[in-house]
Structure 1
Amino acid sequence: MDMNEFLSKELIILDLKATSKADAIQKLCERLYAEDCITDVDKFVADVYEREAEGETGIGQGIAIPHGKSENVLKTSLAIGRTETIDWEGEEHQEVTIIILFAVRLVDNTSVHLKLLSQVASKLAHDESLEMLKTAKNAEDIINIFVD
């Protein structure tokens, strides 16, 4: 699977000014909308929270991977934000600095979504990839973590 298909510099915010989980999700959804990946910010935010209700998306190591599968998605994409530490609400109240928001078209609901999730998870399993995510100086460096 070619990760370049789902990543773009415009969807990576290295200085995301988010004060909470809700703020981070909102801002990343606004970026997805600005880049013509979704049709409606509020509806897609609701879709993301519908998925959040099924299970926590904080995966440890300061990373969260919220996602929404939705008719509001025009182009399956990843929006990535790096922020100061925020509390990723949930039972464990994890501290998060990297948010990788999956926006998935309904037609990509199964195979593409699972392959994308698997590919991202395999990169996040490596300490060097995690460190690069936390220290990258530009969007191209972030993209290279996932396409390398």
Structure 2
Amino acid sequence: MTLIKQELVFLNIEVDASHKEEALPIISQKISAISGLSATELAAGFEQREALSTTGFGSGFAIPHTKITQGEGLVAFFRFSQPIDWQAMDDSPVSTAIALVMPEADDTNLHLKMISKLARLLMHDEFIDTLNSLTTEAAIRDYLNSKLED
């Protein structure tokens, strides 16, 4: 299963203000435009999850995630033109968000597996440095898919 499609890799995303509250609707709209999922429902899901605790992982990355009642899971990559205050665990601003949208009916625990795999990958400087050095949608898609499908 190819989780990240090239059209779900977004680079140089402009956010009017530098807070996650402004970034989440933009993330939702971009995913909605490609997937056909409701931007309003996506934003509400992301915001509900953020209310529990921050998804700002650290090292400039956030892993916002939500579940959907219908449809297949997807992963979207966002690189922001300016760092965003995501209230990350390490207090550093976020330049990259890897958004997970997973089905609510998740017998295989794909949602938890993906969050766990991303969290483990983000503990390695080599992964972060490589991902930060890639500049095209295709290269980012291919690299993430190779790492997430291991």
Instruction: State whether residues 120 and 146 of structure 1, in contact with CA within 8 Å, keep that contact through their aligned partners in structure 2.
Output: no
SS state at 1:108 partner:
coil
Work out the CA distance in 1 between the residues paired with 2:130 and 2:89: 28
Q: Which residue number corresponds to residue 124 of structure 2?
A: 126
Work out the CA distance in 2 between the residues paired with 1:145 and 1:91: 25
Is residue 2:147 matched to residue 1:145? Answer: no
Q: Matched residue pairs, number?
A: 143
Shift of 1:57: 0.7
Which amino acid is the alignment partner of residue 44 of structure 2? A
Q: Which residue number corresponds to residue 133 of structure 2?
A: 135
Q: Which residue number corresponds to residue 21 of structure 1?
A: 20
Work out the CA distance in 2 between the residues paired with 1:125 and 1:105: 26
Instruction: State whether residues 57 and 90 of structure 2, in contact with CA within 8 Å, keep that contact through their aligned partners in structure 1.
Output: no
- When normalised by structure 2's length, the TM-score is 0.83
SS state at 2:53 partner:
coil
Distance change in 2, residues 1:90/1:136 (3 Å)? closer
Is residue 2:77 matched to residue 1:77? Answer: no
Unpaired runs of at least 5, structure 2: none
Instruction: State whether residues 28 and 80 of structure 1, in contact with CA within 8 Å, keep that contact through their aligned partners in structure 2.
Output: no
Spell out structure 1 runs of 4+ moving beyond 6 A.
none
- When normalised by structure 1's length, the TM-score is 0.84
